[in-house]
Structure 1
Amino acid sequence: MSISREKSKFENRFTEEVIEITAVTGASGIGAGRGGGAKLWNASIPLIAWKNVLSTETKIEELRLEWQVNDEEWEQSKDILKKNTVVRLLVRRAENSMMLVKVLETAYKDDELEMILQESLKPVFYTDEVLGKFELDKSVKTFEKKVLWAGEEGNLYFDWDEDESGMKAALETAYALFENQEEWNMKIRRYAAKELTELANDWLQDNEEAEIDKITNDMFMELMKLDCISVYSDGDFNLFFFDGEMFWGHSIIVSGNINGDLTSAEIAG
Structure 2
Amino acid sequence: MLQNGHHMKLINKIFGNEFKLHQQTTEATVNGESKTITLKEYSKKVRMFGLSVTVAFDPENVKIDLNEYIQQVEKKIKDISKRKNQIEKRISDKLLALKNSTWLEEGENKIDEKKFINKLLLESVQFHEDSFELYFEDGNLFLGHTIIYSEDKNGNLIDVNIAG
TM-score range, shorter chain: 0.7 to 0.9
Determine the C-alpha separation between the residues in 1 that align with 2:79 and 2:92: 20
Determine the C-alpha separation between the residues in 2 that align with 1:233 and 1:164: 7
Is 1:189 aligned with 2:88? yes
Pairing 1:192-207 to 2, within 5 Å after superposition: 192-205=91-104, 207=105
Q: CA deviation at 1:220?
A: 1.5
Q: CA deviation at 1:233?
A: 2.2
Conserved 8 A contact 2:121-2:139: yes
Conserved 8 A contact 1:167-1:233: no
Determine the C-alpha separation between the residues in 1 that align with 2:66 and 2:142: 34
* 3-state DSSP of counterpart to 2:89: helix
Q: Which residue of 1 aligns with 2:162?
A: 267
Is 1:145 aligned with 2:44? yes
Conserved 8 A contact 1:225-1:242: yes
* CA distance 1:187–1:169, change in 2 (3 Å): farther
* 3-state DSSP of counterpart to 2:140: coil
TM score, norm. by length of structure 1: 0.47
Q: CA deviation at 1:221?
A: 1.2
Which of 179, 198, 214 does residue 78 from structure 2 map onto?
179
Q: CA deviation at 1:259?
A: 1.2
* CA distance 1:164–1:198, change in 2 (3 Å): closer
* 3-state DSSP of counterpart to 2:60: coil
Q: Which residue of 2 aligns with 1:134?
A: 19
* 3-state DSSP of counterpart to 1:138: strand
Q: Which residue of 1 aligns with 2:116?
A: 220
User: 1:137-159 CA deviation, whole Å, 9 max, x = no partner?
Assistant: 21231111111113111100011
TM score, norm. by length of structure 2: 0.74
* Letter in structure 2 aligned against 1:233: E
Pairing 1:60-209 to 2, within 5 Å after superposition: 125=8, 126-130=11-15, 132-139=17-24, 140-161=39-60, 165-205=64-104, 207-208=105-106
* 3-state DSSP of counterpart to 1:127: helix
Q: Which residue of 2 aligns with 1:237?
A: 132
**Unmatched runs of 5 consecutive residues or more in structure 2:** 1-6, 25-38
Q: Which has the higher helix share?
A: 2
Higher-Rg structure is: 1
* Letter in structure 1 aligned against 2:114: D
Determine the C-alpha separation between the residues in 2 that align with 1:230 and 1:189: 17
* 3-state DSSP of counterpart to 2:18: strand
Determine the C-alpha separation between the residues in 2 that align with 1:202 and 1:162: 39
* Letter in structure 2 aligned against 1:147: V
Is 1:258 aligned with 2:153? yes
Determine the C-alpha separation between the residues in 2 that align with 1:260 and 1:231: 13
Count, aligned residues = 142
User: 1:228-255 CA deviation, whole Å, 9 max, x = no partner?
Assistant: 0011222x10000000000001000000
Q: CA deviation at 1:169?
A: 4.6
Conserved 8 A contact 2:137-2:147: yes
* CA distance 1:187–1:128, change in 2 (3 Å): farther
